[in-house]
Structure 1
Amino acid sequence: MISKDEISRLKGEGILAQKQEGYFSIRILSRAGNFTAKQLNDLAQLSQKYGNGYLGVTTRLAIEIPWIKYEDIENLKADLKEAKLAHGGTGKKVRPLVACKGTVCQHGTYDTQKLCSKLHDKYFGYNLPSKTKITLVGCPNNCAKANTNDIGIVGQVYVKFNEDKCKNCGLCTKPCRQKSVKIVDKTLVWDKDECVNCGKCAQVCPFGAMEVDKQGMAIYLGGRMGRGYRFGDKLNNLYQEEEIVELVQDILDTYKELGNPEERICKVIDRIGFDAFEKALMDKKCINE
């Protein structure tokens, strides 16, 4: 019989007890959701050697090898180290970071993979009052549901409309899935409240009537899923890619200062109010600058 303390220790390393006595799943970390072809080959071989010959993909873009016998764990860890593969991803800390494929997706407004890799290298495993999830998406399609994470980063393109330049041709209405730009009585009408800041209208306008005003990232704080979902609250400012790494540090420091043990960011915000959290964050950001 494996002791509870031993099971807890292994869980802290990303080695999770299965409900089948004596068997474990080991969680191998990706880097921004990516593995090399060689790494996948190595994982396939390890799953044959130690497991039942298959792999599972987690919602945080890690890979798990299940059906590992307890007595094989140390040998598997050594083989993973030799293959330069890391395991982990549990506990009161920053969990595996997730990014959409905005780097190669035609809708992506910034290099999600590059930025996620930077954040992974700096913050993965960072100790906090409770688990903290960070997700990056490249556009308002929000494929990876960034606003249901503790920290969500969403690519945004703010546009401005110059009526004097508009020819009312309707070209910009075709890529607008929100129908925030439309022709009414042969005149183009832009509904700012319906716009989600994808910037598609500015890409196709040949007359400069729809132009990019600002481009950057919206930051959502306090989202979560699971037992009681919550959508994150959006910070007032739009941020540039070069600001994000330091901004995330300020967010985590603010959370550590304001949060109680076991309290996720959403619970801190619910307790003190989002305005108070944002003010504390902005005060810290000003001091650090």
Structure 2
Amino acid sequence: MKDSMACFNQIGYIEEKRIDRFAVNIHFPCGVVTSDQLEFIAEVARQFGEGTVRITLKQGIEITGIPANELQAAHRELARGGLTIAPAGRYIDAIVSCCGAQNCCNGLMPTQPLADRILKKWQQVELPNRITIAIAGCPNACTAPLLADIGVIGVAMPEPRGMPRGHSPTERFECPEGAISYSNGEAVWKQDLCTYCGQCIDFCDLGGWKLAKKGFAVYLGGQLGRHPRLGTKAAEFLSEDETAALINRALDAYRQGANPGEKFADFIQKFGIEKLK
């Protein structure tokens, strides 16, 4: 029985607390799922499980309560529908992504192309331990990238043009971070307070701010769990190509240099981010 359970867990089935019951976690890159897929999953849940599903923290869908003797049949049915069971073992656990500049009003950078690019290269590559990657299209960071092994955030740097004289204070952009002040009709930018959210660039039509540059900021070594820590900024204002290259270097170094079972956050702290730049 233990051998059977080990085999089930290796495939990606999750043993539940109840005897002889398992859950199946279906992976959706960037959390994007079609209405047809939702209907198909509902039918599989009714046929092989208890008719219920659970939305996971990593943008997957988990079908619960599947008896052990129905797992293979459920697996075949999911494969017939083109659905992928989230891998077990030492692989990329998930790439959690917001909708980014494609759909979100706050989004500064497109997120899904980068996520697809990373998955295509690394999804089937075994690593020393599981890896979580989180991508956010803006500094609101709704996917919690600072707490992921690898976190990516879209950022935009403003460039002050100077506030045209004669405009009333109600027309001036009030920065929520206090990074902008006004003196004698001129805008003053405090870069150390700026989060690079880009809101001042989009504000009204006064022309007081323009885009200097934008791109991705990359953070390495964050983690949740019993000993959470924030990731360390490795670089910022990178293009998609530069971001993918940095992530590839980090994962290559981890795959080749970490001990089996060593967490990415522990390895990066020991290895040193400077070596990846």
TM-score normalised by the chain length of structure 1: 0.88
d(CA) in 1 for partners of 2:88 and 2:155?
Answer: 31
d(CA) in 2 for partners of 1:195 and 1:279?
Answer: 24
Aligned partner letter, 1:116: A
- Tell me the CA shift for residue 30 of structure 1: 0.5
Q: Secondary structure at 1:211's aligned position in 2?
A: strand
Q: Secondary structure at 1:136's aligned position in 2?
A: strand
Q: Secondary structure at 2:218's aligned position in 1?
A: strand
- Residue 48 of structure 2 is matched in structure 1 by 50
2:199 corresponds to 1:200 = yes
- Residue 136 of structure 2 is matched in structure 1 by 137
Matching residue within 257, 278, 281 for 2:273: 278
Aligned partner letter, 2:275: A
Describe the superposition over 1:227-273 as per-residue Cα deviations: whole angstroms up to 9, x where unpaired. Answer: 1101000013421013333332111011223322211221023334x
Describe the superposition over 1:86-121 as per-residue Cα deviations: whole angstroms up to 9, x where unpaired. Answer: 102332111121101212010111221232222223
d(CA) in 1 for partners of 2:134 and 2:182?
Answer: 36
- Residue 285 of structure 1 is matched in structure 2 by none
d(CA) in 1 for partners of 2:38 and 2:116?
Answer: 19
Aligned partner letter, 1:137: A
d(CA) in 1 for partners of 2:253 and 2:45?
Answer: 41
d(CA) in 1 for partners of 2:86 and 2:157?
Answer: 38
- Tell me the CA shift for residue 23 of structure 1: 0.3
- Tell me the CA shift for residue 190 of structure 1: 2.3
- Residue 230 of structure 1 is matched in structure 2 by 229
- Tell me the CA shift for residue 81 of structure 1: 0.7
d(CA) in 1 for partners of 2:143 and 2:255?
Answer: 26
Q: Is the 8 A contact 1:154 1:218 kept in 2?
A: yes
- Residue 34 of structure 2 is matched in structure 1 by 36
- Cα distance change of structure 1 residues 269 and 122 upon mapping to structure 2, 3 Å threshold: closer
- Residue 77 of structure 1 is matched in structure 2 by 75
Aligned partner letter, 2:269: D
Aligned partner letter, 2:62: E
d(CA) in 1 for partners of 2:150 and 2:11?
Answer: 23
Q: Secondary structure at 2:229's aligned position in 1?
A: coil
The total of aligned residue pairs comes to 274
Describe the superposition over 1:43-83 as per-residue Cα deviations: whole angstroms up to 9, x where unpaired. Answer: 00000001111110111111100100000000001101100
- Residue 86 of structure 2 is matched in structure 1 by 88
- Tell me the CA shift for residue 40 of structure 1: 0.5
2:256 corresponds to 1:261 = no
d(CA) in 2 for partners of 1:169 and 1:220?
Answer: 40
2:219 corresponds to 1:220 = yes
Q: Is the 8 A contact 1:172 1:200 kept in 2?
A: no
- Tell me the CA shift for residue 12 of structure 1: 2.2
Q: Is the 8 A contact 1:172 1:202 kept in 2?
A: no
Structure 1: gaps (5+ residues): 283-289
d(CA) in 2 for partners of 1:37 and 1:205?
Answer: 38
Q: Which runs of 4+ in 1 moved over 6 A?
A: none
d(CA) in 1 for partners of 2:51 and 2:172?
Answer: 51
C-alpha RMSD of matched pairs (Å): 2.0
Q: Secondary structure at 1:96's aligned position in 2?
A: strand
Aligned partner letter, 1:259: A
- Cα distance change of structure 1 residues 211 and 10 upon mapping to structure 2, 3 Å threshold: same
- Residue 8 of structure 1 is matched in structure 2 by 6
Q: Is the 8 A contact 1:14 1:88 kept in 2?
A: yes
- Residue 151 of structure 1 is matched in structure 2 by 150
- Tell me the CA shift for residue 189 of structure 1: 3.2
Q: Is the 8 A contact 1:11 1:17 kept in 2?
A: yes
d(CA) in 1 for partners of 2:109 and 2:172?
Answer: 22
Q: Secondary structure at 2:187's aligned position in 1?
A: strand
d(CA) in 1 for partners of 2:109 and 2:243?
Answer: 12
Deviates more, 1:134-143 or 1:241-250: 241-250
- Tell me the CA shift for residue 207 of structure 1: 4.7
Matching residue within 52, 56, 59 for 2:57: 59
d(CA) in 2 for partners of 1:55 and 1:236?
Answer: 39
Aligned partner letter, 1:223: G
Structure 2: gaps (5+ residues): none
* Between structures 1 and 2, the one with greater strand share: 2
